[in-house]
Amino acid sequence: MRYFIELSYNGTNYHGWQVQPNVISVQEKINDGLSKLLKESINIMGAGRTDAGVHASQMYAHFDYEKEIDIKNLIDRLNSFLPDDIVIYKIFPVNEKAHTRFHATSRSYEYRIFLGRNPFLLETTWQLYRYKLDVKKMNEAANILLNHTDFKCFSKSNTDVNTYNCDVREAIWKQEDNMLVFHITADRFLRNMVRAIVGTLINIGLGKNSVDDMTYIIESRNRSEAGLSVPARGLFLTRIEYPKTMMNNE
């Protein structure tokens, strides 16, 4: 039987989602918890891989287990076992061929910038208090993303991928008081893509680049033409969508 897990986590204390040697990851913590509670080796598969310090307000993972599960009891016990910065919301059975990574139809991220200083938001925002941003120009440049599909210029170098094509369906900045948030949705994302896009848009907002430069940067396919990668702490994976027929067992 295959089960999906819906969860969230604050990524501050973790070296990303994926299990890696000699560092602590979110995937490792959940693997350990499920393996102890279910009394066999469990290795979950996540819908994606967030980097060190990146957060997820919605993440899905799946695992296989052939024995019957008391789901409510497992959720309660697993949450008791896990650190407070990882929370399990749901565990539900799905079709045995359902895959959290390959069957996701879209993923959404937010990048959160606080325009000022707030000691209570240090772990979850990038705080800018010395610069004035032209958000209108940043949104004009963000809209250009929707006209392109090849985003190699925003991909981390030496990434092993078959294609740099992504279908970006939304890219917009929204501001409420001092909180400025970049919302972006696509079918898939390249490694470091969102943080590089935000860095490029910040340069445009600061007047270091023009709105028209955005097209040149994308068409250059050159990472060095784009902006710097902004800090991980402001980035959140916020939503993952799947076909409704696949989630009918939820």
β strands within the chain, DSSP E = 2-9, 45-46, 55-64, 86-94, 106-114, 126-127, 168-176, 179-186, 235-241
Q: Is 150 annotated in the active site?
A: no
Report, as an integer, the average pLDDT of 156-185: 93
Q: What is the pLDDT of residues 222-243, one digit of tens each?
A: 999 999 999 999 999 999 999 9
Which of 32, 51, 84, 150 is catalytic? The answer is 51
- Give me the domains of the chain, ranges plus CATH numbers: 2-102 (3.30.70.580), 106-238 (3.30.70.660)
On the question of pLDDT at 245 being above 90, the answer is no
Burial class of residue 163 (count of CB atoms within 10 Å of its CB; 0-12, 13-18, 19+): exposed
Q: What is the pLDDT of residues 113-161, one digit of tens each?
A: 999 999 999 999 999 998 899 999 999 999 999 999 999 999 987 777 8
Report yes or no on whether pTM surpasses 0.85. yes
Cβ pair 60, 6 in contact under 8 A: yes
Cβ pair 7, 33 in contact under 8 A: no
Sign of CA dihedral 92, 9, 230, 178: positive
